[in-house]
């Protein structure tokens, strides 16, 4: 579903039927953290999921404020792979276990 900022996000849910106006982020809801739609504006999650659709990656969002963003609330994401059981340093790419390089690229 598209967020109010026009980005397709698998975790966003909006119910506007018959005058309802219910919106939620199921990624934040799963972690029990407070959320509002303004966080979608600069959230990296839709971009990460477009770049890496791995079924084993688990994203964990966190709201931060930094000096460089003028102390505006921003979403930061950490990632964990359930297959390799390791932290994923670069969520856009993944841990590399599911997508090894073809043998032609291996150095013998
Ligand atoms: S905060 Fe991020 S993950 Fe949650 S609905 Fe908005 S864009 Fe999606």
Classify residue 49: in a domain, yes or no.
yes
Tell me the average pLDDT across 27-52.
95
Q: Whose CA is nearest to atom 1 of ligand 1?
A: 40
Whole-number Å distance, alpha carbon 103 to ligand 1 midpoint, is 38
The pLDDT value given to residue 10 = 97
Classify residue 104: in a domain, yes or no.
no
The pLDDT value given to residue 38 = 95
- pTM above threshold 0.85: yes
Whole-number Å distance, alpha carbon 107 to ligand 1 midpoint, is 41
Q: Whose CA is nearest to atom 5 of ligand 1?
A: 12
Alpha carbon distance 75, 40 (integer Å): 8
Q: Which domain holds residue 65?
A: 12-95
Location of structure tokens 């990632």: 79
Q: Count of CB atoms within 10 A of residue 107's CB?
A: 3
Is the four-CA dihedral 45, 50, 69, 25 of positive or negative sign? negative
The pLDDT value given to residue 68 = 79
Classify residue 105: in a domain, yes or no.
no
pLDDT at residue 35 tops 90: yes
Please give the tally of structural domains in the chain.
1
The radius of gyration of the chain's CA atoms, rounded to the nearest angstrom, is 17
Ligand 1 nearest atom to the CA of residue 44, by list position: 2
Whole-number Å distance, alpha carbon 38 to ligand 1 midpoint, is 9
Read off the pLDDT band of 76 (50, 70, 90).
very high
Condensed to tens digits (0 to 9), the pLDDT of residues 83-92 reads: 999 999 999 9
| Length, in residues, of the chain | 108
Condensed to tens digits (0 to 9), the pLDDT of residues 51-72 reads: 999 999 999 999 999 887 788 8
């Amino acid at each position: 579903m598209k967020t109010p900022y026009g980005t397709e996000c698998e975790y966003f849910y909006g119910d506007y039927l018959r005058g309802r106006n219910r919106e939620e982020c199921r990624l934040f809801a799963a972690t029990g953290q407070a959320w509002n739609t303004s966080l979608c504006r600069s959230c990296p999650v839709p971009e990460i999921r477009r770049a890496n659709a791995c079924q084993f990656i688990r994203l964990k969002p966190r709201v931060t404020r930094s000096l460089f963003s003028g102390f505006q609330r921003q979403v930061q994401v950490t990632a964990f792979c359930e297959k390799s059981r390791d932290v994923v340093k670069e969520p856009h790419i993944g841990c590399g276990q599911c997508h090894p390089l073809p043998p032609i690229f291996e150095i013998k």
